[in-house]
Amino acid sequence: MTKDEFLQREELRYEYRMSWFRIAIGAAIVVLFIVEFVLGNTSKPSFFIQIAVTAGLLIYSAGCMLICKKGKGAILLSYVITLLDVSVVTGILWSYAISELTSPLVLNAMFGAYFIAIIFTGLHHRSLLPVFCGACAAIEYSILHYYFLMPAGALFLDMGHLLHVVLLMLAAVLSGIISLNNLKAIQKTILSEMRYQNLIERLPDMLFTLNDKGRFIWANKAAENILGVKAAALANRELREFLTNPDELRLRGELFRHTIRIKDASNELKFVDAIIRRVREEKNPPIWEGSLTDVTDREIALFQREEMASRLYQYQKMESLSTLASGMAHDFNNVLQTISDLVENVQRDTREQETKGKMDLLLESLADAKFMTSELLALGRRNPLDYKSINLRNFFTTIIPQFQQQLGSRYTIAVNLSDERMVIQGDSDYLKRIFQNFIGNARDAMQHGGTMTIECFPVRKEGQAPAIAIRFSDEGAGISPEIMDKIFDPFFTTKKPGKGTGLGLALVQRIVSLHNGTVSVEKTGKQGTTFRIEIPESEMETEELDTKHIMQNRVSTTVLLLDDDNKIREILRIFMKGLGYTSIEASNADEAAEALSKHVQDCEVVIMDWRLGADDPHQVIQRLRAIKTNIVIFVVSGYSPKRKSIEQMKIEKWFTKPYEKNVLDIEIQKAVYKLRRPK
């Protein structure tokens, strides 16, 4: 609203109030005229003029009120009303003049009514309006004086008449000066108020006033941005309507300050800082004045910061775990490897069934120990996996029978595999651990038996990279909502002490992330839990060697065993001999180079530890390749595979201790087959 519009609005309000005042005066003088007429102090012509003039006053006052309500024509209305006010005074003077009530007391009293009209115009904001009123009063008074008040034979411009005219104009000028001063003061006030109002309306924060019931009385324009409702439409609505939790708003005491969640008119969730203060007014119920500041971006940033802090904390835990695992892995896995090899040797050589049974139990315990160690290594793993193309149909067809045999007859694994092509890049050993954990958790959740379901199918959506989805479902009791956010945390477990490490699902998440995939709980409840894994689909599919054909046509070769641990070499030599290989041994780089030089024609494979005392394994491999360029290198180590070293040194296969000797045998046969295959 501009300054002129504001002044016009205020002037119309003033005229509206003055119209009520005129009506009140009109009603009072009507009563006075009637009393005078009844008492016989007024003639009939004078009484009719007085009634007509007063009726006109009431009529145009009522008309003025109607015009003011429409809010238009303030300038013209002010001048018209001023002219009519002066005419009313003149009409009353005329009624007394024709009644020959022309005593100086009566005439002076009525003459004073002109001054009242002039004074009222001085209360307007227009400095020319009092001058106009004075001029109209002087003209009408002069006409009345000439025709009715001037004695016969007197001069028109007598001193009394001139004095009255001068007094009227002087009063008009003085009222104009007062009006002008009032206008300047009002303009300053209006300008200040408009600046304040504009500032309030431009603020991004929503300012408002509530009544004692918590309903809106007033709000600025920011209400539309924050609540999605125009300020005018908020009247008499409750602030609680917009809160997601209405109980958060408790207008008690003197001050309410809180960050609350609201939903605007479009149902969009927002966070706002609310500051609401009680304001007490005399003789009125207390009201509440407050502000709402949209802090959605801040709350999102805080949430993201907390999430990043949580991720950093998890990362630090993983780093600490990695350091611990790496420090323990080599020596511990060497111990496991030695025990495992000896147990297998005893089991193979003995003929006593009782001893074989005990060896089976030992091997199962060693497998559990191996699995726990591999979980620690996988959680802390930094290097990439041994990625190869994996046909998931073949993968599940291979591993499911193994798991089914371990579970027993109370549990069933149902498999639903798509007929479409499903190939990913991954490490099959680590993928197998995902389902070891899923199946182990499902078995614990279904203590009385049940069915586990594995589904695998491609996911191809427009605008997204193709992926392979894997669902694993059980029929357990589901996951409690209270722990849903913690199930992938390392060391978090709901199992009893000694029954679980809390690494299972953390390992699953870690392995899936190493495959550039995602894992989530798709649904959970009393009917069971469904996990969903998505891994990017691979366009490559390597041609696998026919393992069965190769193993049926085994070949013999000489193998160089390079390890600085005598026990490990001895156990490995025994197994190589049992598998039909000729072994030569070395404990360091110099011995290995010397041994290979002596058997350069026969030796095709090297099995070496990655940690060889002070010798650098890269330099060791380079020395051996300098002697025989096509020598096949297998690494057996307690450390996780080092992808960069595997690629640079062209290592055939990296085995993490403890490993299965039959797998090593298969890989040796494959490597020798490729080496001897005609180009």
Mean pLDDT of the chain: 81
State how beta strands 423-426 and 388-391 pair. antiparallel
d(CA 621, CA 413): 45
* 186 close to 125: Cβ distance less than 8 angstroms: yes
Binned at pLDDT 50, 70 and 90, residue 543 comes out as: very low
| Helix, strand, or coil (residue 569) | helix
Poorest-confidence range of 11-25, 38-52, 237-251, 324-338? 324-338
CB 31 within 8 A of CB 80: no
Beta strands 388-391 and 216-219 are unpaired
Q: What strands, in cross-sheet order, belong to the sheet with 269-281?
A: 216-219, 206-210, 284-294, 269-281, 255-263
Number of Cβ within 10 Å of residue 542's Cβ equals 11
Q: How many Å apart are CA 144 and CA 371, to the nearest integer?
A: 122
- 516, two tokens: 């550039």
422-431, 494-503, 605-614: which range is least confident on average? Answer: 494-503
Averaged pLDDT, 320-336: 65
Please choose, from the candidates 207, 361, 175, the residue with its C-alpha nearest in 3D space to the C-alpha of residue 273: 207
Listed residue (163, 160, 168) closest to 140, CA to CA: 168
Specify the amino acid at residue 80: V
Please state, in angstroms and rounded to a whole number, the distance separating the CA atoms of residues 39 and 34. Answer: 9
Domain-wise residue ranges, the chain: 3-200, 206-294, 306-378, 385-536, 547-676
Residue 384 confidence (pLDDT): 47
Exposure b/e, 164-182, CB count within 10 A at least 16 = b: bbeebbebbeebbebbbee
What is 206-294's CATH number? Answer: 3.30.450.20
CATH 3.20.20.70 fits 385-536, yes or no: no
Q: Reduced to 3 states, what is the DSSP secondary structure of residue 274?
A: strand
DSSP, residue by residue, 199-240: HHHH-SSEEEEE-TTSBEEEE-THHHHHTSS-GGGGTT-BGG
- Give Dmax (Cα) for the chain: 166
Give the three-state DSSP class for 273: strand
Determine the 3-state secondary structure of 492 from DSSP: coil
Q: What is the pLDDT of residue 358?
A: 78
Residue with tokens 């201790």: 657
Which among 612, 558, 569 has a CA at the least distance from the CA of 588? 612
Structure tokens that stand for 544 in this block: 């696998």
This prediction's pTM: 0.40
Q: Which amino acid is at 213?
A: K
pLDDT band per the 50, 70, 90 thresholds, residue 106: low
What is the mean pLDDT of the segment spanning 128-139? 85
> What does the block give as tokens for 205?
């924060």
Cα angle at 455 between 453 and 458, to 5 degrees? 170
585-602 residue pLDDT tens: 999 999 999 999 999 999
CATH number of 306-378: 2.130.10, 1.10.3470, 1.10.287, 3.90.1520? 1.10.287
- The more confident residue out of 149 and 200 is 200
- Based on the number of CB atoms within 10 Å of its own CB, is 418 exposed (0-12), middle (13-18) or buried (19 or more)? middle
Angle at alpha carbon of residue 420, lines to 419 and 424, rounded to 5°: 120
Q: What is the DSSP string of 99-140?
A: TT---HHHHHHHHHHHHHHHHHHHTSS-THHHHHHHHHHHHH
Q: How confident is the model at residue 150 (pLDDT cuts 50, 70, 90)?
A: low
**What's the length of the chain?**
679
- DSSP letter for 151, please: P
SS3 612: strand
Q: Residue 94 — pLDDT band, cuts 50, 70, 90?
A: confident
- At 457 the three-state DSSP class reads strand
Residue showing tokens 């006053």: 57
Residues 6+ apart with CB under 8 A from 69: 16
Fold of 547-676: Rossmann fold (3.40.50)
Least confident of 151-160, 329-338, 480-489, 561-570: 151-160
pLDDT at 148: 66
